[in-house]
Amino acid sequence: MDLKDKHVVVLGLGRSGQAVCRFLLSRQARVTASEIKSLTELLADKKIRELKEAGVTLEAGGHRWETLAQADLIVLSPGVPPLPELEKLKAQGKKILPEIELAYHFLKGKIVSITGSNGKSTTATLTHKILSEGGLPAFLAGNIGFPLTNLVDSSSPSDIYVVELSSFQLTYIEQFTAEVAVLLNITPDHLDWHPSFDHYKEAKQRLILSQPENSLAILNRDDAHVWELNAARKALVWAFSLSRPVTPGMYLEKDWLYLHLDQPTKFLHRQEVPLFGPHNLENIMAAALVGKYFGLPDSRIKNSILTFRGLEHRLEKVTSIDGITFFNDSKATNVDATLKSIQSFEENLILILGGRDKGGDFKQLIPALKNRVKAAILLGEAKEKIQKALAGTVPLHPVSSLVEAVERGYSLARPGDVVLLAPACTSFDMFKNFEERGRRFKEAVLALKERVQPK
């Protein structure tokens, strides 16, 4: 791909967008960066000022149709949703690529792509840990780790790039493909941005359908939306399952994880697994299968799993106060993630729900609530919608802040209970992102502990 003197518009000036701009400048392209933030906000960032000084034209306050229409190429940052203007331009033949596809055209090395509605970051991080601790030249990129364009110039054919991909990135891929592609699950998510569930599902499935015959797809046998690809794919398939034996692949049977490539072998006992919840068994099996594809011995893969402590804000134990344990699962930003979070506990939960709605069906939580949850605390923009959906199930307690939610949870709980933040919503109504929400939750819990259990 020759970029010299081409007019390229980059949508989004976050970390990946900035990396794309630098990459394009190094290829002598004429670069315009378009952002919804104001020019004042943009120029407060030293790195963006440096891009402007290097020749990037900044277009602030929204994406302009005229600029997009005049571009030779439009490159999307990972967080940019499918905008109506982009769909129209694409229909007219305009070349539109996500950042990962731009990098793909120049990158040397093997790509392991990981996507799904939930579990992407945990699986990608563990996969990278397994490969790198196994002595392989592995790099973590995409939504977690480095922007892929940052790694192009130093790439070599022996390198392995573990790339976490979102539905937004996959919507516009054309030639991008992966030697190994992992599809963890497909459940309704981002329906505030995707026009329909089918549109969202098609984006996720595109990763597998783009693979050639000499590649590997690792698929969740228990997810119908994932497994339907088994009939349409060209790639070799390995599967993982919590409910049935699969071959080739990994599965759970009588509390043992079995690896079955040539013959079934006991791999790990469930009680040895350091991560909490059955969904993390799926993440572990997927990552382990990637390690096996690259020829790593079972012992090395197991050691990497046993020393993995998970990621912050994913079913993270905060502390205990008077026998009441607080868990931070702020990353549970959709209904399915919250459902899996609830199912990680037996009973006696005080659940904190709410934030900005993503178009999820909160009624799907009802069976789990009735079996495991004593009370639910509701906050944020979605609390009225949640209250209406869950009326008559468990006691519901609307609150106005996260601090109030923590204090209400403590007052409702008894020794042996768990107070769980698993919001089923995004954080953008009250916080910058799910990380800030999780940090504020932990701060509120620790402040409460200091007050009721002073040293």
Give the span between the Cα atoms of 136 and 436, in whole angstroms.
34
pLDDT at 55 over 60: yes
Tell me how crowded residue 92 is: count the other CB atoms within 10 A of its CB.
8
Torsion on CA atoms 126, 128, 131, 137, rounded to nearest 10: -170
CA neighbor of 256 nearest in space, from 221, 296, 226, 284: 284
Give the span between the Cα atoms of 28 and 22, in whole angstroms.
10
Q: Report how far apart, in Å, the C-alpha atoms of 118 and of each of 56, 121, 154, 187, 210 are.
A: 36, 8, 31, 8, 21
Q: Where are the domains of the chain?
A: 7-94, 101-306, 316-452
**What per-residue confidence (pLDDT) applies to 232?**
84
**What per-residue confidence (pLDDT) applies to 421?**
98
Q: Report how far apart, in Å, the C-alpha atoms of 435 and of each of 30, 64, 314, 400 are.
A: 35, 31, 10, 20
Per-residue pLDDT reduced to its tens digit, 142-167: 888 789 999 999 999 999 999 998 87
- The region that residue 190 occupies, defined by phi over 0 for left and psi between -120 and 50 for alpha, beta otherwise, is left
Looking at the DSSP assignment, which residues form a beta bridge with residue 296? none
pLDDT at 455 over 70: no
Give the span between the Cα atoms of 330 and 431, in whole angstroms.
11
Q: Report how far apart, in Å, the C-alpha atoms of 56 and of each of 20, 135, 305 are.
A: 11, 40, 44
Fold for the domain defined by 101-306: UDP-N-acetylmuramoyl-L-alanine:D-glutamate ligase (3.40.1190)
Report the percentage of the chain scoring pLDDT > 70. 98
**What per-residue confidence (pLDDT) applies to 57?**
96
Cα-Cα-Cα-Cα dihedral sign, residues 241, 198, 339, 279: positive
Looking at 3-7, 30-34, 86-90, 113-117, which range is the least confident one? 86-90
Q: For residue 186, what are its two tokens?
A: 């497909």
Give the span between the Cα atoms of 10 and 455, in whole angstroms.
53
Looking at 26-30, 355-359, 418-422, 445-449, which range is the least confident one? 355-359
Q: In which element (H, E) is residue 128 found?
A: helix 120-133
The answer to whether residues 55 and 31 touch, using CB atoms and an 8 Å cutoff, is yes
Give the span between the Cα atoms of 378 and 366, in whole angstroms.
15
Question: Half-sphere exposure (CA, 13 Å, Cβ side) for 87?
Answer: 9
**What per-residue confidence (pLDDT) applies to 193?**
57
pLDDT at 51 over 70: yes
**What per-residue confidence (pLDDT) applies to 263?**
94
pLDDT at 56 over 90: yes
Residue 93 CB partners (closer than 8 Å, separation 6+): none
Give the span between the Cα atoms of 383 and 426, in whole angstroms.
12
Confidence at 54, pLDDT banded by 50, 70, 90? very high
The answer to whether residues 368 and 341 touch, using CB atoms and an 8 Å cutoff, is no
pLDDT at 135 over 90: yes
Interhelix angle 434-452/402-412, nearest 10 degrees: 50
Give the span between the Cα atoms of 236 and 49, in whole angstroms.
47
Q: For residue 240, what are its two tokens?
A: 């993982």
Confidence at 192, pLDDT banded by 50, 70, 90? low
The three-state secondary structure class of 81 is: coil
Q: In CATH, what is the architecture of 316-452?
A: Alpha-Beta Complex (3.90)
Confidence at 125, pLDDT banded by 50, 70, 90? very high
Residue type, 437: R
Looking at the DSSP assignment, which residues form a beta bridge with residue 250? 240, 259
**CA geometry: angle 195, 199, 205, nearest 5 deg:** 155
Q: What is the mean pLDDT of residues 105-118?
A: 94
Residue 246 CB partners (closer than 8 Å, separation 6+): 221, 239, 240, 260
pLDDT at 312 over 60: yes
**What per-residue confidence (pLDDT) applies to 358?**
86
Q: Round the average pLDDT of the chain to a whole number and report it.
A: 93
**What per-residue confidence (pLDDT) applies to 194?**
56
CA neighbor of 180 nearest in space, from 124, 133, 103: 124
Per-residue pLDDT reduced to its tens digit, 270-299: 999 989 888 899 999 999 999 999 999 999
The three-state secondary structure class of 98 is: strand
CATH 3.40.50.300 given to domain 7-94:
no
Q: What length is written for the chain? A: 455
| CATH topology match: 7-94 vs 316-452 | no
Looking at 90-99, 121-130, 258-267, 380-389, which range is the least confident one? 90-99
**The pTM is what?**
0.84
Q: What is the mean pLDDT of residues 82-103?
A: 89
Looking at the DSSP assignment, which residues form a beta bridge with residue 59? 34
- Burial of 9-48, coded b for 16+ CB within 10 Å and e otherwise, reads bbbbbeebbbbbbbbbbebebbbbbbbebeeeebeeeeeb
Interhelix angle 46-54/15-26, nearest 10 degrees: 20
**What per-residue confidence (pLDDT) applies to 111?**
98
